[in-house]
Amino acid sequence: MQSTNAQVLVIGAGFAGLGAATCLQEKGFKVEVLEARDRVGGRICDDTSFGFPLGRGANWIHGLDGNPMVELAQRFGVSFSPVDVGRFYTFDRHGQRIPPEVLDAFEEDFENSLIYAKDFAQQSPQDLSLADALAPFFKPKALSPVQQDLFKRKLGFFQGYVGADYQRLSARNWDHELSLPGGHAILSDTYVPIIQGLAASCSVRLNTVVTAIQVRDNGVDVLTDQGCYQAEAVLVTVPLSLLQQKVIHFDPPLPVVKQKAIERLGMGLFNIAALKFPRLFWEEDSRALFFSEFDAESISTFMNYYQVNRQPILLGYSGGDKALKIEQASDQQILAKVMDNLRRHYGRNIPEPEAYFFTRWSQDPFSRGSYSYLPVGASEGDREELAQPASARLFFAGEASNRDFPATTHGAYWSGLREAQRIESGFLLKVNEPR
C-alpha cells in the first residue's frame, strides 16, 4: 500500500486533471494526481528537436473572449498571436489562388446544404451520417473543377477540426458545440508553460499507471503499477478512448447507461507534420495554405509558422481516416509525399527540410487518438452521461465529458473545474453522512 494522505486522487495530469486539482486545493482539499506518463500535460506536449519548443498537440486558443486559456496564458507569461483568417490562402489544382468571392459563394452554398442536411436528418426515423444526409443536397459530380477542390477542402476541414470523416459523423448532432467569440490565436510559446505553471502547485506522481479503481463503502482503492493508493474520492480524467478500451477496471462496474454512452461517443484523430526548411519559399504573409489534394494520403493543409515565430516552418495538418493511413507509414514515406505535394506547387527546386517530426496520436498508449466527436447515433447527452459521477466517490472529467466545449483545452479545463465544484458541493456531505 502506497502512503498518501490525499482526500481526492485525480487520475491524469492534463488540463482537466490539473484544473480540478488546483481548484480543489484552493477549496482546502488534500489532492494528489496520479499520472501514467513521465511528464505532465497529456495531449499538451512539445517537441524540442528544432532547437525551440513546438507543440505536438494543442497550439490554438479557440475563441479569445471568455476563454480561461487567455487568463492562464497571461498569468504564466505565455504570448499568443491572433490568427487572421483573411490570410488563409486556397489554391486550385493549377496552383492559382482562388479568389475570395469564389470561396465565399461556395461557402454559402455549402453552409445552406448543411442546414438542409440537418433538417433532413432530424426528420429521418433514425440518425444517419453527415455524408448520407448531405448527399441529396450537395452533389459533388455536378460541381466545377474548382468547386470540387473546395469540396475536398471542406472534407479536410471535418477530418481536421472534428477529427473524423463526414461519413462517420452524426448528421443530427456532429456540430453540437459552442464557439467562444473573439477569433482564434496560436500560442507562440506553446501550452507547456501553462501546464507546468498549473502543475507547479500540485502534488503529481508521474510514471504511475492506474489499472483498477475499487469503490468501497468507506473509501476508494486505486490500483496502479506502483502499488495501491487510497482516498475518500477519485476523479478520473483519462481520455475517452482508454475508457472505451476498458484500460481501467472498475469495481463495481460503471453503470450500464454510462458504459453505453462511452461506447457511443467517438475518438477522432488529428496529426501534425512539422517541417523546418533552410529558407522560406511560400507566401510569407499567409497564415494558412490550402492546396489541391493530388493524393488522398498526402497532406494538403499547412499553417505558415513564420507568422508565429519567424522561423521557416510549415505545420501540416491531417485528420480522420486519412491521418490514420498516413501515420502508419514510415517518416521517410510521409516526408516523400509531403515534399511531392509541395513541389507540385512551388517547383522542383525547393529545399529539403533540415528537420521534421510527425505525430502519431492514435499510437500514443495514454491517448489513443486526439479528441472526441459525435458519431452516428451519438449525441451531446452522451457527454453529459459521461460527466455524471458513478457514485458519491467516483467522478469523471476530461474534454469528452464537456457537453458544449469538447475537444478543446478550455473544455477540458472547465470540465475539471466542474467536477471540483461538484466534489465541494456534495461529496463531503454525502461521504460523511451516517449510513
Give the shortest CB-59-to-ligand FAD separation in angstroms: 5
Give the shortest CB-232-to-ligand FAD separation in angstroms: 19
Give the shortest CB-254-to-ligand FAD separation in angstroms: 15
Q: Reduced to 3 states, what is the DSSP secondary structure of residue 65? A: coil
Which residue number, 176 or 345, has a Cβ lying nearer to ligand FAD? 176
Distance from C-alpha of 81 to C-alpha of 308, rounded to nearest angstrom: 7
Q: And the C-alpha cell for 279?
A: 529558407
Q: Considering only residues 63, 156, 239, 375, which one is a binding residue for ligand FAD as defined by CB under 6 A?
A: 239
Which residue number, 98 or 407, has a Cβ lying nearer to ligand FAD? 407
Amino acid at 341: N
For residues 272 and 47, the answer to whether their CB atoms sit within 8 Å is no
Q: Considering only residues 8, 199, 235, 272, which one is a binding residue for ligand FAD as defined by CB under 6 A?
A: 272
Which residue number, 76 or 110, has a Cβ lying nearer to ligand FAD? 76
Task: Give me the residue label for grid cell 510527425.
Answer: 358
Q: Considering only residues 7, 22, 59, 298, which one is a binding residue for ligand FAD as defined by CB under 6 A?
A: 59
Binding mask 379-398 for ligand FAD (x = CB under 6 A): -------------------x
Looking at 124-222, list the stretches that DSSP marks H as alpha helix, in order from N- to C-terminal side: 130-134, 145-157, 192-199
Q: Considering only residues 370, 379, 386, 395, which one is a binding residue for ligand FAD as defined by CB under 6 A?
A: 370
Which residue number, 36 or 114, has a Cβ lying nearer to ligand FAD? 36
Q: Considering only residues 10, 16, 155, 231, which one is a binding residue for ligand FAD as defined by CB under 6 A?
A: 16
303 lies in the binding site for ligand FAD (CB under 6 A): no
- Residue 269 has φ and ψ, to the nearest 5°, of -130, 135
Q: Considering only residues 23, 24, 29, 35, which one is a binding residue for ligand FAD as defined by CB under 6 A?
A: 35
Binding mask 60-99 for ligand FAD (x = CB under 6 A): x-x-------------------------------------
Distance from C-alpha of 148 to C-alpha of 140, rounded to nearest angstrom: 6
160 lies in the binding site for ligand FAD (CB under 6 A): no
Amino acid at 25: Q
Instruction: Using alpha carbons only, give the angle 317, 318, 323 rounded to the nearest 5 degrees.
Output: 150
Q: Considering only residues 238, 265, 386, 392, which one is a binding residue for ligand FAD as defined by CB under 6 A?
A: 238
Amino acid at 170: S
Q: Considering only residues 103, 209, 335, 350, which one is a binding residue for ligand FAD as defined by CB under 6 A?
A: 209
150 lies in the binding site for ligand FAD (CB under 6 A): no
Give the shortest CB-272-to-ligand FAD separation in angstroms: 6
Binding mask 315-354 for ligand FAD (x = CB under 6 A): ----------------------------------------
For residues 38 and 263, the answer to whether their CB atoms sit within 8 Å is no
Going by their DSSP bridges, the two strands 301-304 and 371-373 should be labelled as unpaired
**Closest by CA position to 353, among listed 272, 276, 279, 298:** 276
Count, residues near ligand FAD per rule CB under 6 A = 41
Q: Reduced to 3 states, what is the DSSP secondary structure of residue 399? A: helix
Residue 99: half-sphere exposure toward Cβ, Cα within 13 Å: 3
Task: Give me the residue label for grid cell 426515423.
Answer: 125
Q: What is the dihedral of CA 129, 131, 136, 137, to 10 degrees?
A: 120
242 lies in the binding site for ligand FAD (CB under 6 A): yes
Give the shortest CB-120-to-ligand FAD separation in angstroms: 30
339-354 burial code (b ≥16 CB/10 A, e <16): bebbebbeeeeeeebe
Stretch that binds ligand FAD, among 57-65, 169-177, 319-327, 336-344 (CB under 6 A): 57-65
Distance from C-alpha of 179 to C-alpha of 411, rounded to nearest angstrom: 11
361 lies in the binding site for ligand FAD (CB under 6 A): yes
Which residue number, 54 or 133, has a Cβ lying nearer to ligand FAD? 54
276 lies in the binding site for ligand FAD (CB under 6 A): no
**Closest by CA position to 161, among listed 232, 85, 246:** 85
For residues 118 and 174, the answer to whether their CB atoms sit within 8 Å is no
270 lies in the binding site for ligand FAD (CB under 6 A): yes
Q: Considering only residues 7, 8, 9, 17, which one is a binding residue for ligand FAD as defined by CB under 6 A?
A: 17
For residues 351 and 141, the answer to whether their CB atoms sit within 8 Å is no
By CB under 6 A, name the binding residues for ligand FAD: 11-17, 34-37, 42-44, 57-60, 62, 209-210, 237-239, 242, 247-248, 270, 272, 359, 361, 366-367, 370-371, 398-399, 407-409, 412
